[in-house]
Amino acid sequence: MCIRDRSTWVWQPLLFYNWGFDKLGMFTRVTGVLRSILMMGALVPFQINIMSVYTSSLKLFIDGKYCHPNYQMEDIICYIRWLTITQRDIRIKPIYCPTISGPTSGDTFIKEISEWARQVRRWSIGSAEVFHYFLVKAKRIPFFRAFVWGTCYVFYYAGLRCIQEILSVTTAIAITCWGSGNISIYIFLIPLAIQYIGVLGSFILNKIAVATFLKEIEVDERIPLYRDVIHIILTPLVNLVHALTVLYGFTELIIRGRKVCKHGAAAKDNLEILENLSLIHISEPTRLLSISYAVFCLKKK
């Protein structure tokens, strides 16, 4: 790596969630596929946040004084701390190595849905907690960097991952049920069409990654075409339930306050062990306590 000042960079592997997707349900798979693509297409390019597995120079860790382990989304909190304490623009640089993050799991369909919802709720409450932390610390970050980061963060977590998902589906339902004979009203179906195009592209890219990039760690998925079609068609439903769960988390946070900001990790103990792996990483590197919620398999022997 030919970067002179490594203390101004954080390196982020691109995460995939293809850990037994052929044995998991629609909600878990759709969320995992979209989460991987959004990380590659939004979180890293727009410098919004690091996620779960990341690395940086020891100097940056020391200067940033690590981070409090009780925050739910400790990785993003840590990134904000680094921006605050160092008074520098910390850039996120992708690492192109096959990295697997374990999705939520359950031994029954109902259990899997329950754990999926628990994880989505935790993400929503954690993202709100992060934004509150940012507002408190924003005055210590260079103004332009704070403005750009805050705008991108709100657009991604509130706009793209919540409001857009609800509007695209509910608008389509409303037009179908109560639409008039005016053809111009169908222009409001454009958001749903865009969502389907994005979903189709996400599934195609994930298939390509499994056949090429993830082949190095022997990810082998045998998912029939009809399941792909069903999952793609029902993705807006998954996104709608995802958005409603996010709204529930936000509402719960508004009513109950800090009490709901707990590290309630979803279950991942039903995942099968992947063979031929030489490195397993548990938890985030900035945690000082033994709190972990995911296992990451990185490299083939």
CA atoms within 13 A of residue 150's CA, in its CB half-sphere: 16
* Chain segment 62-107, per-residue pLDDT in tens: 877 776 666 778 788 888 888 888 888 888 988 888 788 778 777 7
Q: With 80 as the cut, is the pLDDT of residue 211 above it?
A: yes
* Chain segment 242-294, per-residue pLDDT in tens: 888 988 988 998 898 888 887 666 666 655 555 555 444 444 444 444 444 44
- Calculate mean pLDDT across residues 2-31: 82
Q: For residue 148, give the DSSP letter.
A: H
pLDDT score, position 229? 95
pTM score: 0.82
Residue 300 bridge partners (DSSP): 277
Q: In the block, which residue shows the tokens 């909600």?
A: 27
Q: With 80 as the cut, is the pLDDT of residue 188 above it?
A: no
Structure tokens at 190: 């454009």
- Calculate mean pLDDT across residues 108-120: 87
pLDDT score, position 68? 62
Q: With 80 as the cut, is the pLDDT of residue 157 above it?
A: yes
pLDDT score, position 279? 46
**Sheet with 295-297: strands ordered across:** 55-56, 9-16, 91-101, 295-297, 280-282
